[in-house]
C-alpha cells in the first residue's frame, strides 16, 4: 500500500469541506460546544503540524456540518487568513454565510469587510453595506461603525456625510472605537473640511476610553503637531508603550518613523527590526513593506530574493497587496526567474477581486520594461482603478497625458484628471494642479492660484511641499524673490518633520543669497538636519569647513573631524569628499584621489563608483584630464552598483561629453527624448558644465519646439539664442535673474525645471 503524506491528507480534507451537509441535525439536537473548544481546534488547525491540522480541521468540519455556528465562523476565519490552510475566498464566504444564517452576527461583519475590501472575492460595495446593515440591525457595533464610514465616503451607498457622522456618533455611545473613525474623518477631511483640532479631541476621548488605536492616533498627532503643539517625546512615549505591549500597528508605525526620518533620526536598522516585529505580531502590511525595502534597496542593500520571500509570506497570509507585489515580482523577475505569464495572471486575478489593483497593470504598460509600453492598455487599466475609487490612478492618468510619452499629449485632459483627484481629496493631485496653474499647462496660467494650491497641500501635512514653495520664493520662480517667505516655508517644512527644510536653511545662511550670511546659524541648521535624520548633513557641514564656504569662520581641521564622523555614520559620499580634496588640494594629488575612489568602489560603494565614472568623464583640472574610454570602462565594470535609471543617466552624459558637432547634439537630443523625465532633466542640467554647447543646443531645441526660437540649432549662444531664452525666462522668472544668462547655475536650474 502506498504511503499518503500528511500534507496530502490536509489538502484532500480542505478540498472536500464544502461537501459536508450543513444542517444534518435539527437545531434542538445540536451539541453544545463551548467556544474554548472551538478556539483550541482552530489553533490546532492553524498550527502548521500537518497531522494535527488535519484532525482539527476534520473535527471543525463535522461540527460545522452539524450546524455549529461557532465552528462555521472559525472555518471562515481559517480560510480567510491563510497559513498552513490555503486561503480560499469562496469557502471562507460560504462558511461565514452559514454562520450568519445560524445567528452568528459577527460573521455578518466579516462578510461586509470581505466584500468591501475585495481581498478574497471580487469587491462588491453595495453587498458589503447590506451585510454591515444587517450586523448593525442585530446590535453589532462594528456593523454600525462600518455603515457610518460607508455613508461618509459614499462606498456602496450615495454619499450622505451628515447621516454617516450621525451613525458614528450613535455608535460611539456603545463602542468607543467609533471615536477613532470620527477622528479620521476630520483628520483626512473626508466629506468635511479638515479639522486637526477636532480630530485630536476625538482621538483623546478614544484613548481615555482605553482604545489602543485612539492612543496610536494621539501619538501621531503629538509627533506631527496636528491639532496640538508638537511634542515628539510625548508622542514617542505613547507609541512605544503600545509597541512594548505587542501592538502590531504601533510597531509598524515605529518602523515607518525610523525608515522616513524627520521627527526622529532615520535609522534603517531600527526600521527593519520594528517592521519585522510588526510582521511577527501579525501585521501583514509589514511583510509587504519589508519586501519593498529589500526590493528597492533604499534603506538597506537590495536583496531581490529576500524581497520576493517577504512578498510570498504576505500573499500566503492573505495580504491582498502582498499578492499584487508578488505578481509584479514575477513579471519583472525580482528575486525569481521572470515569468510574465504567471505574474500577469496573478495581477489579473487581483484586479478581478479588487479593481484598484489595476493601477499596477497600468504602470507596467505606461512605463515599459518587462512589457512593451502600450498607452491604450495603460489608460484602460488606470480607468478601471478610477472606477474603483482610486485617486492615485487619476493622478497617473494626468501624468500620462501631461508627459505625452505613450499617449498623445493632452494638457487640458491632464489638468482635468488632476482636478477630479484633487476634488476627491488627493493631496498630490492638488500639487500637480498647482503646477499646471503656475506653468499654464492645460489651464489658463495663474501663478497666484498655483502657489495657493501648493500652499494648501503643504498645510495638509505634505512637508515636502513647503520645501517646494520655499524653493519658488528663493529662486524667484512664478513670483518675486522673497527671502523671508522662503525661510518661513523652509521652517514650516522642518516643523512638519522634513529635514530638507533644515538643510535649505543651512545653505541659505551659508551662501547669503536670500538672507544675510550667518555662518553660525548655518552650522546650527546643519546639525539640526543631521539630528532630524539627514545623515548627509554632517558631510555637507564638513565640506563647507574644508572648502572654506564659511569664509573667515571656516575651520578645515574641524571639517576633517566632521568628515570622520560622517564616515563612522556610514555616509558613502564621505570618501568622495576626501577624493575631491586630493584632486583639488594644494598641491593636487590626483593619484591619491583616484586610489581612494577605486578602493571604495571595489568595496561596493555606489557613491564612489559614480564619482569614479564622473572623474574620468569630466577630468579634474589640468592635473587629471578627461578620459572617456576609462569612463565607459568604469561604468561597465561597476554597472551593478547603479540603478537602471542611473545607468541611463551616466551613459547619456558620457555621450554628451563626447558630442562635438550639431549632428552629435541632435542625436543626443533624440536619445534624451526617450529617457525618463527625471533622468532627462538631470542630464540636461548636468550638461551645462559637462558640455556647455550640448546644453545650449538642447535649450535651443526646446525653445524651438515652443515656437520661441527660429534660429539655427548649433549649440552656440548667439544673440538670437539669448533673446529667445530671455523671452521664455521672463514668463516665469523675474527679469533681473534672466539677465544672468542661461549658463548661470541658479537660472539653469529653474530653466530646466520649466522646460
CB 199 within 8 A of CB 180: no
Whole-number Å distance between alpha carbons of 475 and 480: 8
Interval 137-162 mean pLDDT? 94
54: pLDDT strictly greater than 80: no
Question: How many residues does the structure list for the chain?
Answer: 755
Whole-number Å distance between alpha carbons of 196 and 202: 10
Interval 418-444 mean pLDDT? 91
Q: How is residue 87 annotated by DSSP?
A: P
Q: Indicate the SS3 state at residue 733.
A: strand
Q: Indicate the SS3 state at residue 229.
A: coil
Query: What is the grid cell recorded at 644?
Result: 537602471
Q: pLDDT band for 45, please (50, 70, 90 cuts).
A: confident
| pLDDT value of residue 59 | 86
Whole-number Å distance between alpha carbons of 678 and 534: 22
Residue in 113, 120, 35 with CA at minimum distance from that of residue 82: 120
Whole-number Å distance between alpha carbons of 133 and 139: 10
Query: What is the grid cell recorded at 281?
Result: 505580531
Whole-number Å distance between alpha carbons of 634 and 612: 7
Per the omega criterion (within 30 degrees of 0), is the bond before 587 cis? yes
CB neighbourhood size of 488 (10 A): 15
Q: pLDDT band for 460, please (50, 70, 90 cuts).
A: low
Residue in 609, 544, 538, 549 with CA at minimum distance from that of residue 574: 538
Residue-wise pLDDT for 560-618, tens only, equals 999 998 888 788 899 999 999 999 988 999 999 999 999 999 998 999 999 999 999 99
Percent of the chain with pLDDT over 70: 93
Residue with cell 589640468: 622
What backbone phi and psi angles, to 5 degrees, belong to 733? -125, 160
Compute the mean pLDDT over every residue in the chain, rounded to the nearest whole number: 88
Would you give the distance in Å from CA 560 to the centre of its chain?
A: 36
Q: Indicate the SS3 state at residue 318.
A: coil
What backbone phi and psi angles, to 5 degrees, belong to 122? -55, 135
Q: Indicate the SS3 state at residue 477.
A: strand
Would you give the distance in Å from CA 363 to the centre of its chain?
A: 14
What backbone phi and psi angles, to 5 degrees, belong to 477? -95, 125
Would you give the distance in Å from CA 622 to the centre of its chain?
A: 44
Residue-wise pLDDT for 276-331, tens only, equals 999 999 999 999 999 999 998 878 878 999 999 999 999 988 889 999 999 999 99
Residue with cell 584630464: 625
Whole-number Å distance between alpha carbons of 226 and 217: 10
32: pLDDT strictly greater than 60: no
Query: What is the grid cell recorded at 509?
Result: 545662511
Residue in 672, 689, 699 with CA at minimum distance from that of residue 753: 699
| pLDDT value of residue 546 | 92
CB neighbourhood size of 747 (10 A): 20
Full set of structural domains in the chain with CATH: 462-571 (1.25.40.10), 580-642 (no CATH), 658-755 (no CATH)
Residue-wise pLDDT for 470-481, tens only, equals 998 888 878 888
CB 590 within 8 A of CB 620: yes
Interval 411-426 mean pLDDT? 92
Residue-wise pLDDT for 696-726, tens only, equals 999 999 899 888 899 999 999 999 998 888 8
CB 53 within 8 A of CB 35: no
Which residues pair with residue 733 across a beta bridge? 477
Query: What is the grid cell recorded at 420?
Result: 477630479
User: DSSP characters for 509-570?
Assistant: HHH-SSS---HHHHHHHHHHHHHTT-THHHHHHHHHHHTTTTGGG--HHHHHHHHHHHHHTT
Least confidently predicted of 75-79, 173-177, 515-519, 624-628:
75-79
Number of Cα atoms under 13 Å in the Cβ half of residue 603: 11
Q: Cα torsion at 404, 408, 409, 410 (round to 10°)?
A: -140
Least confidently predicted of 21-30, 374-383, 396-405:
21-30
Whole-number Å distance between alpha carbons of 286 and 278: 6
Between residues 275 and 261, the one the model is more confident about: 275
Q: H or E element: which one contains 82?
A: none
Which residues pair with residue 477 across a beta bridge? 733
Exposure pattern of 427-451 as b/e (b: 16+ CB <10 Å)?
bbbbbbbbbbbbbbbbbeebbebbb
| pLDDT value of residue 43 | 78
| pLDDT value of residue 748 | 81
Q: H or E element: which one contains 461?
A: none
Residues with Cβ within 8 Å of 134's Cβ and at least 6 positions away in sequence, in order, are 100, 105, 108, 143
Residue in 751, 744, 749 with CA at minimum distance from that of residue 725: 751
Residue in 345, 397, 400, 407 with CA at minimum distance from that of residue 376: 407
| pLDDT value of residue 33 | 67
Least confidently predicted of 213-222, 485-494, 675-684:
675-684
Least confidently predicted of 114-123, 494-503, 656-665, 744-753:
744-753
| pLDDT value of residue 261 | 74
Amino acid at each position: 500500500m502506498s504511503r499518503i503524506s500528511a500534507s496530502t491528507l490536509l489538502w484532500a480534507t480542505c478540498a472536500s469541506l464544502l461537501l459536508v451537509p450543513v444542517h444534518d441535525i435539527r437545531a434542538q439536537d445540536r451539541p453544545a460546544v463551548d467556544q474554548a473548544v472551538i478556539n483550541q481546534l482552530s489553533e490546532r488547525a492553524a498550527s502548521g503540524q500537518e497531522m494535527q491540522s488535519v484532525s482539527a480541521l476534520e473535527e471543525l468540519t463535522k461540527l460545522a456540518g452539524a450546524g455549529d455556528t461557532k465552528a462555521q465562523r472559525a472555518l471562515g476565519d481559517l480560510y480567510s487568513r491563510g497559513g498552513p490552510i490555503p486561503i480560499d475566498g469562496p469557502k471562507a464566504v460560504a462558511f461565514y454565510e452559514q454562520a450568519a444564517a445560524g445567528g452568528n452576527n459577527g460573521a455578518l461583519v466579516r462578510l461586509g469587510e470581505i466584500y468591501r475590501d475585495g481581498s478574497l472575492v471580487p469587491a462588491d460595495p453595495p453587498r458589503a453595506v447590506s451585510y454591515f446593515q444587517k450586523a448593525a440591525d442585530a446590535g453589532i457595533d462594528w456593523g454600525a461603525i462600518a455603515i457610518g464610514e460607508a455613508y461618509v465616503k459614499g462606498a456602496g451607498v450615495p454619499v450622505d456625510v451628515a447621516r454617516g457622522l450621525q451613525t458614528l456618533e450613535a455608535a460611539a455611545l456603545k463602542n468607543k472605537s467609533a471615536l477613532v473613525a470620527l477622528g479620521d474623518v476630520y483628520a483626512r477631511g473626508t466629506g468635511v473640511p479638515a479639522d486637526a483640532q477636532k480630530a485630536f479631541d476625538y482621538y483623546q476621548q478614544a484613548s481615555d476610553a482605553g482604545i489602543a488605536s485612539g492612543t496610536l492616533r494621539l501619538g501621531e498627532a503629538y509627533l506631527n503637531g496636528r491639532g496640538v503643539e508638537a511634542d515628539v517625546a510625548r508622542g514617542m512615549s505613547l507609541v512605544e508603550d503600545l509597541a512594548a505591549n505587542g501592538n502590531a500597528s504601533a510597531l509598524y508605525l515605529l518602523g515607518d518613523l525610523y525608515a522616513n526620518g524627520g521627527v526622529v533620526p532615520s535609522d534603517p536598522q531600527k526600521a527593519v527590526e520594528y517592521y519585522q516585529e510588526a510582521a511577527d505580531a501579525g501585521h501583514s502590511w509589514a511583510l509587504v513593506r519589508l519586501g519593498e525595502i529589500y526590493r528597492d534597496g533604499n534603506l538597506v542593500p537590495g536583496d531581490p530574493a529576500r524581497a520576493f520571500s517577504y512578498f510570498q509570506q504576505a500573499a500566503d497570509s492573505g495580504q491582498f497587496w502582498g499578492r499584487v507585489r508578488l505578481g509584479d515580482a514575477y513579471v519583472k523577475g525580482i528575486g525569481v526567474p521572470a515569468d510574465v505569464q504567471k505574474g500577469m495572471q496573478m495581477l489579473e486575478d487581483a484586479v478581478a477581486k479588487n479593481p484598484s489593483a489595476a493601477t499596477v497593470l497600468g504602470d507596467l504598460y505606461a512605463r515599459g520594461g518587462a512589457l512593451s509600453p502600450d498607452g491604450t492598455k495603460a489608460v484602460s487599466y488606470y480607468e478601471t482603478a478610477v472606477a474603483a475609487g482610486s485617486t492615485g490612478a487619476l493622478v497617473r492618468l494626468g501624468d500620462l497625458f501631461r508627459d505625452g510619452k505613450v499617449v498623445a499629449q493632452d494638457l487640458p485632459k491632464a489638468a482635468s484628471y488632476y482636478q477630479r483627484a484633487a476634488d476627491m481629496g488627493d493631496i498630490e493631485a492638488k500639487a500637480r494642479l498647482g503646477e499646471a496653474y503656475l506653468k499654464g499647462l492645460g489651464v489658463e496660467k495663474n501663478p497666484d492660484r498655483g502657489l495657493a494650491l501648493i500652499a494648501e497641500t503643504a498645510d495638509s501635512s505634505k512637508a515636502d511641499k513647503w520645501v517646494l514653495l520655499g524653493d519658488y520664493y528663493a529662486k524667484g520662480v512664478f513670483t518675486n524673490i522673497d527671502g523671508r517667505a522662503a525661510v518661513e516655508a523652509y521652517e514650516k517644512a522642518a516643523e512638519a518633520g522634513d529635514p530638507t527644510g533644515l538643510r535649505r536653511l543651512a545653505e541659505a545662511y551659508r551662501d547669503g543669497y536670500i538672507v544675510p550670511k550667518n555662518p553660525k546659524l548655518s552650522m546650527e541648521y546643519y546639525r539640526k538636519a543631521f539630528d532630524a535624520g539627514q545623515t548627509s548633513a554632517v558631510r555637507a557641514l564638513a565640506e563647507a569647513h574644508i572648502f572654506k564656504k564659511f569664509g573667515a569662520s571656516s575651520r578645515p581641521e574641524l571639517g576633517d573631524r566632521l568628515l570622520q564622523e560622517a564616515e563612522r555614520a556610514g555616509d558613502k559620499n564621505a570618501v568622495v569628499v576626501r577624493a575631491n580634496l586630493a584632486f583639488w588640494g594644494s598641491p593636487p594629488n590626483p593619484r591619491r584621489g583616484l586610489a581612494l575612489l577605486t578602493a571604495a568602489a571595489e568595496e561596493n560603494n555606489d557613491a564612489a563608483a559614480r564619482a569614479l565614472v564622473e572623474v574620468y568623464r569630466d577630468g579634474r583640472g589640468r592635473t587629471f584630464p578627461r578620459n572617456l574610454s576609462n569612463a565607459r570602462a568604469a561604468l561597465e565594470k561597476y554597472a551593478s552598483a547603479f540603478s537602471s535609471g542611473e545607468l541611463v543617466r551616466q551613459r547619456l552624459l558620457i555621450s554628451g561629453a563626447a558630442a562635438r558637432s550639431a549632428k552629435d547634439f541632435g542625436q543626443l537630443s533624440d536619445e534624451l527624448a526617450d529617457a525618463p523625465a527625471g533622468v532627462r532633466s538631470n542630464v540636461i542640467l548636468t550638461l551645462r558644465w559637462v558640455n556647455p554647447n550640448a546644453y545650449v543646443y538642447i535649450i535651443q531645441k526646446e525653445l524651438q519646439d515652443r515656437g520661441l526660437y527660429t534660429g539655427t540649432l548649433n549649440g552656440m549662444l548667439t544673440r538670437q539664442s539669448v533673446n529667445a531664452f530671455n523671452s521664455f525666462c521672463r514668463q516665469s522668472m523675474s527679469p533681473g535673474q534672466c539677465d544672468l544668462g542661461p549658463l548661470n547655475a541658479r537660472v539653469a536650474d529653474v530653466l530646466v525645471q520649466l522646460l
